[in-house]
Structure 1
Amino acid sequence: MPIVPSNYNPPFLFKNGHFSTIYAGILRKIDGFKQKRERIDLPDGDFLDLDWSFSHQKTTKLTILLHGLEGNAQRPYITGSAKQLNTHNIDACAVNFRGCSGEVNRLYSSYHSGATEDLAAVIEHILSLKKYEEIYLKGFSLGGNLILKYLGEDRSISPNIKMAVTVSVPCNLYNSLKALLTPKNKLYSNRFKKHLIAKLKLKQNVFPDLLSDSDLKKIITLKDFDDIYTSRAHGFVDALDYYAKCSCLQFLPNIQIPTLIINAKNDSFLGPECYPYAAAEQNPNLYLEVPKYGGHVGFYGKNNVTYSERRAVAFFSHDKS
């Protein structure tokens, strides 16, 4: 499919990628919005917390929302998305990945960029409700990678799954990691590392035999975290093996439902291999939009509705342009 042209042109301040990223992540507030929590048990004995919000009218349409690294279902990019979807008569189910809902998950393993079995469990649960005829998927950053991998894997996709929109996706995980470890992103990478290590210390209290103090001291970069925890806890050889197997880039040719990727050119988290032009040109179901501005999960918009939130509603309404 041809690359989708973008007309996103924010106010001057928001043309700065860092300002756009920080505003969206820290300063933006979503008011007048409520969620209802549901806990589901997973086949391996763990759990997921789902935060639901509903249209004021009865609907058979639902969007499943997936957050990014160390996010949760209360982040403004999730609640803002859900509120906009609800306004357009679409219910929303925002997934908190394992350990991200305010409570430590039960197992030593947690979540990662390729844990599509958890998305599959959520979809199976929602289908069992027999309430929704049209189900859409929307994911941000890590959650976007997970959705794209899920859609491109060798699996049977329910006909109820109609479309997907993904935002700020690190389509090549190692390429994105290298971008995050550059000096311009030190503030972000240190913030991620701080949160990840804090959670790992909670894990250590429960699983002291699996994680030593010396292991924690070895975590200097985000790659070290993936070498010491992510890969070991989830069955990968090392961080590079994890990145290679879980990057969605290799799965994009197999996607068979209309799917939009929105990756800003000035997203400092993404390296050049995170912009899948070739895959989009070769797969008629894959739409790639690369706005000049937007930062990482930024895309400021008027009336506290981001550009990516408007685009998702339009895409789910069959407006691909």
Structure 2
Amino acid sequence: MSRTPFSADFRAPRGLGNRHVQTLLPRLRPLVPLARETEILNLPDGDFVELAWVHPAPVRDDAPVFVLFHGLEGSFDSPYARELLGVASALGWRAVLMHFRGCGQAPNRLPRAYHSGDTADAYWVIGQLAHRYPRAIKVAAGVSLGGNMLLKLVAEQGGDGLDLAGAIAISAPLDLAASADALNRGFARVYQRHLLNALKRKIAAKLAAGPLPISLTSRQLDALETFWAYDNAVTAPLHGFRSATDYYRRASAGRLLGEIELPTLILHAADDPFMPADLFSRLPAPADAVRLEVARQGGHVGFIESHDGKLGSWLARRLAWQLENWASHARPHRSLAAGPKE
């Protein structure tokens, strides 16, 4: 990558700068209280996704819309989801989270699940929002897996292919193979084991309910201990990829950064334990429509700061600034060269 990223204004509190501390801190803090209304949105292939709408919602049909896509095995109850949806709602936005298939309160109907490059459901949801709220500006944000998916979708659709004023990607694993490697080293194996256990529980339930279109026994599922092994045995064959290598190559959004035309903000921590430290040097330079902000610390979707003497979410504060900036324009500028003031 030839373009120099912007330096994010995040500063970790003294003693809380370790990347694993930052990654785990959000899970130790109380969840932001947030009421929701659940909508089952049927998809063209007969499956469904659950939408979690923050309640109460704005009365006006032209209130701006904020749609959030969560990370691997995330949900409305993920700490970052509560923080980001809460801040958007407090600013007067109509806030909604799309649960990927099977991540809501009920298992999905089809044998297939979801994956990092699965853009079709998000495209369908954004289209539904465009139909329901044609006069509202809309911003989408994706966290981790959801961030990679969103960037891939934005690159695929071009500048005018989506009814979005802007997109925000947070801690996105833009090189999936490199992330799978990073998660199989050192303490990061703890995250790998936690996430794999959640994925394997869902597949085990589907295996118990009936045969799946993949060659896999319960004993073989139990033996899958890395993302490489799991994605090769489950994710790839279940979703039409030849192998984990094929899946990682085709689903990674990093190779498409230079093709993005929609105003896009990417937030990343250089010490993210889910990714290699040299992630962006492996990728093409982002397009002019992209503003890449890299913080020296922050971990994976951590970014816990001390603000006004209290621990808080820098991500929520940064999101609030961006939403207010975009909401102040009917259509945001194509360049994001001017970031927030420190």
Q: TM-score, normalised by structure 1?
A: 0.92
Would the aligned equivalents of 1:162 and 1:258 in 2 still touch at CA under 8 Å? Answer: yes
Deviation at 1:143, TM superposition (A): 0.3
Match in the other structure for 2:110: 107
Q: Which runs of 5+ in 2 are unaligned?
A: 327-337
After superposition, residues 266-285 of structure 1 pair within 5 angstroms as 266-272=271-277, 274-275=279-280, 279-280=284-285, 283-285=287-289
Match in the other structure for 1:245: 250
Match in the other structure for 1:307: 314
**C-alpha root-mean-square deviation of aligned residues, in Å?**
2.1
**Count of equivalent residues:** 319
Would the aligned equivalents of 2:155 and 2:257 in 1 still touch at CA under 8 Å? Answer: yes
Give 2:148's aligned amino acid.
N
1:123-171 CA distance string (max 9 Å, x none) = 1111121355211011110000000000011567446301111111111
Give 1:37's aligned amino acid.
T
Deviation at 1:97, TM superposition (A): 0.6
Greater helix percent: which structure?
1
Label 1:96 to 1:57 Cα distance change in 2 as closer, same or farther (>3 A): same
Would the aligned equivalents of 1:169 and 1:274 in 2 still touch at CA under 8 Å? Answer: no
Would the aligned equivalents of 1:141 and 1:168 in 2 still touch at CA under 8 Å? Answer: yes
Deviation at 1:102, TM superposition (A): 2.6
After superposition, residues 14-93 of structure 1 pair within 5 angstroms as 14-24=16-26, 26-53=27-54, 54=56, 58=60, 59-93=62-96
Label 1:258 to 1:122 Cα distance change in 2 as closer, same or farther (>3 A): same
Would the aligned equivalents of 1:175 and 1:273 in 2 still touch at CA under 8 Å? Answer: no
Q: Given the alignment, which residue of 121, 125, 144 partners 2:128? A: 125
Q: Which runs of 5+ in 1 are unaligned?
A: none
CA–CA distance in structure 2, aligned partners of residues 7 and 44 of structure 1? 43
SS state at 2:7 partner: coil
Label 1:205 to 1:155 Cα distance change in 2 as closer, same or farther (>3 A): farther
Q: TM-score, normalised by structure 2?
A: 0.87
Corresponding position: 1:193 with 2:181: no
CA–CA distance in structure 2, aligned partners of residues 218 and 31 of structure 1? 37
After superposition, residues 101-250 of structure 1 pair within 5 angstroms as 101-130=104-133, 132-154=135-157, 157-158=160-161, 160-208=163-211, 210=213, 211-250=216-255
Q: Given the alignment, which residue of 96, 101, 105 partners 2:99? A: 96
Deviation at 1:254, TM superposition (A): 1.3
Deviation at 1:8, TM superposition (A): 1.3
Would the aligned equivalents of 2:176 and 2:249 in 1 still touch at CA under 8 Å? Answer: yes
Q: Given the alignment, which residue of 253, 258, 262 partners 2:267? A: 262
Would the aligned equivalents of 1:276 and 1:288 in 2 still touch at CA under 8 Å? Answer: no
Would the aligned equivalents of 2:138 and 2:166 in 1 still touch at CA under 8 Å? Answer: yes
1:204-255 CA distance string (max 9 Å, x none) = 0223254423431441212111011100110000111000000001121111
Give 2:42's aligned amino acid.
D
